[in-house]
């Protein structure tokens, strides 16, 4: 359903030495092929998958020099990961960006820039780029499905129908990456529409598709899925934010007309964690109107 973007796609300059991995490449090298990966590793990213990468590095007999993240603070780590990090005294460098890979033949270090502008070199022979997932949308693209610019996966409505009749999409190909439980819930939700299509070639509630009404998430929200809406949609919407949002209020509008307001009183919405928006407002959508906007803090003017 999804893959991590490699170093080249993240536009990190430098030479092309050995010792540069994504999490998937690292796990294959260690667990499938038993390869030696080096002795000192820097992990780029500080979400759940980065801690799994650090665990794999340690399983291969190497040390984790640091976890590096551009976020102003590290996301909460699972209990097992936090215990491992404390046990091995692994620092987390927040507000820090990898700006260059050093070394020829073999990685010799990474240059990083801190939030205060300082530039330093971390001496290491292995670097693992984690997170920054993108959908594996090649099949959807070749099938001429409409892609959503926010998720970069197939555009779907609340029944998880794509722009091509009879083609449905669920899981990480829609929103890289959510939990396995989310993918399973979406699969069960799509089953009704799939069964209807298999029985008589029709989709329930389908006078407005293909297309639906575009559903757009405004900054600092990164994306929303599903990202097309029809008045009979019932599946909750999953959003991601680029920055921490303490007790956010979400506004849903269409052509300047308010459709819904939802405030989250418990905690802070953070990057790498989904934010869920109810679909109780979809019956207010005008299927022949303009795009529906979801914004933080104030309504979209339309």
Rg over alpha carbons for the chain, rounded to the nearest Å, is: 22
pLDDT tens digits, one per residue of 26-60: 999 999 999 999 999 999 986 778 888 999 999 99
* CA angle at 107 for the pair 104 and 113, rounded to the nearest 5°: 110
- The answer to whether 295 and 219 have CB atoms below 8 angstroms apart is no
Task: Quote the pTM value.
Answer: 0.79
- The answer to whether 173 and 1 have CB atoms below 8 angstroms apart is yes
- The answer to whether 14 and 100 have CB atoms below 8 angstroms apart is yes
Confidence category of residue 196, pLDDT binned at 50, 70, 90 = confident
Alpha helices for 11-124 (secondary structure H): 23-27, 48-59, 79-88
On the question of pLDDT at 199 being above 70, the answer is yes
Half-sphere exposure of 134 (CA within 13 A, CB side): 14
Provide CB contacts within 8 A for 129, sequence distance 6+: 4, 5, 6, 7, 10, 12, 20, 21, 22, 23, 44, 45
Considering only the top CATH level, what class is 2-131? alpha beta
pLDDT tens digits, one per residue of 220-262: 999 999 999 988 788 999 999 988 888 999 999 999 999 999 9
On the question of pLDDT at 85 being above 80, the answer is no
Give the mean model confidence (pLDDT) for residues 271-275.
85
d(C-alpha 184, C-alpha 180), whole Å: 6
Tokens 């019932």 identify what position?
Answer: 234
Mean pLDDT computed over every residue of the chain:
88
- Report which secondary-structure segment, H or E, holds 40: strand 40-44
Percent of the chain at pLDDT > 70 equals 93
Kindly report, as residue ranges, where domains of CATH 3.50.50.60 are found in the chain.
Answer: 2-131
On the question of pLDDT at 101 being above 90, the answer is yes
Confidence category of residue 117, pLDDT binned at 50, 70, 90 = very high
On the question of pLDDT at 162 being above 60, the answer is yes
């Amino acid at each position: 359903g999804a893959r991590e973007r490699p170093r080249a796609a993240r536009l990190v300059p430098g030479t092309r030495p050995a010792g540069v991995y994504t999490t998937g490449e690292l796990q294959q090298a260690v667990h499938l092929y038993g390869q030696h990966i080096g002795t000192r590793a820097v992990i780029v990213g500080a979400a759940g998958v980065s801690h799994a990468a650090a665990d794999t590095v340690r399983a291969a007999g190497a040390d984790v020099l640091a976890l590096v993240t551009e976020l102003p603070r590290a996301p909460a780590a699972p209990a097992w990961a936090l215990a491992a990090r404390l046990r091995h005294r692994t620092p987390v460098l927040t507000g820090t960006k990898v700006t260059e890979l050093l070394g020829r033949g073999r990685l010799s270090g990474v240059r990083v820039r801190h939030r205060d502008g300082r530039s330093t070199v971390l001496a290491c022979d292995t670097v693992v780029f984690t997170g920054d997932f993108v959908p594996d949308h090649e099949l959807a693209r070749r099938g001429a499905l409409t892609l959503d610019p926010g998720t970069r996966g197939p555009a779907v409505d609340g029944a998880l129908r794509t722009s091509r009749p009879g083609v449905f999409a669920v899981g990480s190909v829609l929103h890289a990456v959510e939990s396995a439980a989310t993918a399973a819930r979406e699969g069960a939700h799509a089953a009704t529409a799939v069964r209807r299509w298999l029985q008589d070639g029709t989709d329930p509630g389908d006078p407005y598709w293909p297309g639906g009404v575009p559903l757009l998430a405004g900054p600092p929200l990164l994306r929303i899925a599903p990202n097309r809406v029809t008045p009979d949609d019932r599946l909750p919407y999953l959003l991601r934010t680029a920055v921490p949002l303490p007790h956010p209020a979400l506004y849903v509008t269409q052509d300047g007309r308010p459709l819904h307001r939802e405030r989250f009183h418990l905690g802070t919405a953070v990057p790498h964690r989904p934010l869920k928006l109810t679909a109780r407002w979809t019956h207010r959508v005008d299927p022949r109107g303009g795009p529906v906007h979801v914004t933080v803090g104030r309504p979209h003017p339309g």
